Amino acid sequence: MKASADPSRSLRAPGSKPSPSFASFIGALRGTRAARAPTQSLRSRGPSLGIEKKGSADALFDQRLRVLSAIEHMGKPWVATLFGHCLGGGLELPLACQCPRLLRSSRGRARGILVSDMLVHYRTVVYESDRWRGFPFRAGDIVITTPPKCGTTWTQRICALLVFGTPELDRPLTSVSPWLDMVTRRREEIVAVLEAQTHRRFIKSHTPRDGIPWRDDVTYLCVGRDPRDVALSWDNHVANVDWAAVFGAREAAVGNDDIADLIAQGLPPTPESERDRFWAWVADPTPPTQVPSSLLGVLHHLASFWEVRDRPNVVLLHYGDLEADLEGEMRRLAARLAIDVPEERWSDLVRAATFEEMRRDADRMAPGVTESIWQDNARFFRSGTSGQFRRLFGAGDAERYEARILELADPALAAWAHCGRS
């Protein structure tokens, strides 16, 4: 991305400010949690092997294979936990001494390997990627996997319009296209809902590619957005959460006993100003496996699909492209999904996918409405526009932001993340 001294090219405000109710709920959960002795993990753990090298997907895969070989030579069915900058966190590989079979795959490619055994574990207070393990996929499934605030709900709505061929929905969008990773509903309940569906399924996720099982007969949609706008939208998003409802639903679904473990180091300080929160979001070094949103996390997620963008079952969309040519992007997606839409229906479908129509129907379009997790459903659809970050940038901020981008992403990925295909 070319540096620009124009403050309008700068980033937007940041890592969202947790509401007071979030802090109070966390404090209550930590304070009342019954003390207990450390428990043994369900998975027996073996040695921790460090990986610090940044690299391409092929290099990362080679690292994994070397670890597999090393563990095989130990002669024990241990679980290796890898920590590294290029992974952003832990990667668990339950081997059971099956390395010879696992290693029968071409260099740098995961085909033929037990990919479900190589999933990176992403876990935060609100979602848990391990819920994808053992998920009963069907041929033709669509997985909508985006960083938060990049157009997930917009893409879900578009998929609903293409799959059903009508703007009408008989239930909330979150019930038609549930978020499997979200821990405010029991996994068994979500899987049952999806198993009962007879139409082509489209499932929401905020888990990067390395945390989701890979199938060649499943289409993976990844949506990018200018990270500066993501930061601004995330700030509004967190401020709009009803934390009492979230933790109440979480308690009913999975319990809250693990909260103290997830925030063992305490809550990070929350800057008072929007501008300071923005820069905290940009600079946040927390591994993407442990934090729901940061600049590092957004670029990590997008990179995981950028690396495989030429595969026939991977579709990259961009928020800016959807804004610029909604009908053209919907037609492109329909073609990639092999969905034939009668010409006379397009105008109605495109109109239903506009921001104004979705906001008007926020009580059915917003995610999590079945658990009432928002203070205001309509506020979830805050503005639907790009570039509002510009008001935060002053002299030198564009250069400061670009320097951080160049630390985290290669130029081609950075250009697409900020500008899309246009």
- Active site residues per annotation: 206
Q: Which two tokens stand for residue 20?
A: 């007071």
End-to-end CA, the chain = 13
140, 141, 139, 121: which is closest to 131 by C-alpha? 121
145, 147, 140: which is closest to 162 by C-alpha? 140
If you ran DSSP here, which 8-state letter would residue 241 be given?
B
Residue 301: which residues within 8 A CB-CB, separation 6 or more? 145, 146, 147, 206, 208, 222, 288
Give the Cα separation of 158 and 352 in Å (integer): 9
Give the Cα separation of 136 and 243 in Å (integer): 31
Give the Cα separation of 273 and 261 in Å (integer): 29
DSSP code per residue over 163-179 = HHSSS--SS-HHHHS-B
Q: What is the torsional sign of CA 333, 335, 337, 341?
A: positive
Give the Cα separation of 250 and 233 in Å (integer): 24
| 3-state helix vs strand vs coil in the chain, percent to 5 | 45, 10, 45
HEC string of 250-307?
HHHHCCCCCHHHHCCCCCCCCCCCHHHHHHHHHHCCCCCCCCCCCHHHHHHHHHHHHC
List C-alpha distances in Å: 234 to 95, 151, 194, 254, 371: 38, 12, 28, 25, 20
